[in-house]
Structure 1
Amino acid sequence: MLSLLWLLFMAPPPPSSMSSPVDPAFLSLAREVEAALRDGNPAALDARLDGEQLLQRVTRGLPVSRAFLEDLASDARANGWPLGRRLLGTGGQGLHVRLLQVRMSGRTPLALFRVLSDSGLNYLEFELGRDARNEAVIVDLFPYREGERLSELMWRVYLLAAAERGQCLTRRLRGPERDWVEELPRLRRIERLLGADQGREAVEEMDRLAPRVRGERFIQRLRLEVLASLDEAEYALGLVVFEKAFPKDPLLDLFALDNPLLLGDSAAMMAAIDRLDARVGDPYLHHVRGQVMLDQDDLEGAKRSFQKVLEAEPALLEPHVELLRLALEEADHAGAVRLLESMERQAGGSLMRVRIEDGPEARAFLESAEYKGWLERQRTPEGRDGGSEVAGPAVP
């Protein structure tokens, strides 16, 4: 399979207004998946995916022999679609999942999730439906960082796999499909170059692709991703080219979250965050706004933004950490203790060990009556305590 094709990153079509109420069965399914993923069980996603409906979408219209099609179907049925771990990682403490919305797009129910993991921020949009037993299931999904629906991605993967094995009925190919098959050797070279960290050579190969393939959104996205690690000027030019080819594409707003070219341009960054927030309705984006405000030395604005996140999601760690840093800088020891107590509550009362960056503000806090009182309350009946270390950075 072309693992290259899993590197896509773009946003889905804009949501349409709700056309009808959401069936409670779909709401229940979305909440069930959210709870399982929060518990660090990505396999729950696989269990609620209707593999047969997805298989029909993936294989519909594939220009391959019936025998090869049967082999693909048998393989998919035997091995399933192990997507949860691929999309969400291994789970555990690095994974935080939030169901943002369940809505109807025409007659199609869609559930949007935000995923924070060691890999960063991602959004997953699930298309829901009914299986043969009339039970609510997942029938397709759109990972924002992959760039297209799973069924669309796998259709092309199967097409190219068939071509590589000599099973593609090329006489039935027309237009872009033929271009993709003809460019298979170059796509493989690009994949090998990326795997060997030869970014410059990979970009040069991308620029040699046939025009219709080179102009595809995900190839352009992949090219931008490589250029970001190679040359700032070329990356800036690539962004202009991309925006010209795909004007007002939400992908550009996703780029802005980690676009080094926008550092220092708070107005452009805030505008991008606002556009993305209008699309996904995510309280976490207040945290991103707060970080932009910190870069602009707007400490009060940053604190307000971090507090807004915690009002919506008290369990999020990152806003707590940022507010704790600010409290130490301002010698607000009582406020710092309140934050420690909040983190303690979110941890279910578990014993905490706090590592605080060394410096005069940290030492003053560690010597304060407020901190010593909190530390005393942390002690267990056996006399052990959560303790503190002067270290860096300031994280629990």
Structure 2
Amino acid sequence: MTTSTSKPRPRKQLRFSLRDEKIKGLIWQVVVVGITVAVVAWLWSNTSHNLAVRRISTGFAFLGREAGMPIVDTWLPYSPKDTYFWAFIVGIVNTLRVAVIGIVLATVLGTIVGIARLSSNWLLSRVAAVYVEVLRDIPLLLQLLFWYVLMQGLPGARAAWNPLDGVFLSNRGLVLPSIPLGTGQLWVLLTLLLALIAFYLLWRHLIAQQMQDGRVRRAWPYALALLMIPVAVSWSLGVSWAVTMPELRGFNFVGGWTLSPEYFSLLIALVTYTSAFIAEIVRSGIQAVSRGQWDAALALGLRRSFVLRQIVLPQALRVIIPPMTSQYLNLTKNSSLAVAIGYQDIVSIANTTLNQTGQAIDAIALIMLVFLTISLSISLFMNWYNAHIALVER
């Protein structure tokens, strides 16, 4: 009986050669990272030295001091005795007031104008084309100043325009009827929001079941049942939904909801300017859907409005969403132009803080952090939605 001895497998020798592409790539990465770290360290050291020589203090301790600045137009309670930190919170809310409402209105208006550009009505399509070309070619700052000067040229409160009952437009802004929101109203609205979310999830579940067995399941009984929840909460809390109508007393209006001239001008400028770009995005997205989709749907006797809403637009969204995200980000960043007309957003409040405290680097860093956070939030949401509506290959 013979035993065979197996020879050990030779070890793989490590070879270090500058001609190896992996080694060259690793060296270049180390060099680039080293240079970047060195530049950042030099800038930090140079900045710290210059600040120390000029006796300029840094840090965010100033946020706890009394602000002493007036903020006129705000949804949050504020007084000059509040801290700089609360003043920044108020500025962030004012910025979000413009960005969120502006995004919604610009999307609706841009979609309408984009569809109008494809209308078979020659006059409607030409008007929509003129709207897009004119607003896209005029700088946003000029449009903002135009609307602000136009608002300042309106008659005073005593001679305000009254196109509808309870609606007044003057150089004091736009005054609308309102419903006072207290703790009870907020609880009812929160319950309504939760009911809407629950109905949306239930509706998707019913659609999924219908796709499996083909049985049509009605969703309106569930909607009615969920709607009764906020109604019951409102009744149990004794919430009043009385509408407050504005009244002219003296030289100004009392009651109602007032949109200041600065806010109203900024909102109009941002919405009309951004909607012109969104209109072109919507138009190109609709035209990206093949003509055969229209022909097949119309051959089945479907109405054009139904075809557009249920067949074409869902497919066009896959083309529309990515460039639409850029327009949302542009609208949010362009809201910083509010400082040109005196609307107190985060940029205006940070500039006032900078002048009062001398904390230039810290105030600018806070502005950058706020806009970065808002922009990343918009991007993450739009990327999630874009992935949600993407075609799934089978």
- Name the TM-score, length of structure 2 as normaliser: 0.21
Structure number with higher relative contact order (C-alpha < 8 Å, ≥ 6 residues apart): 2
Structure having the higher strand fraction is 1
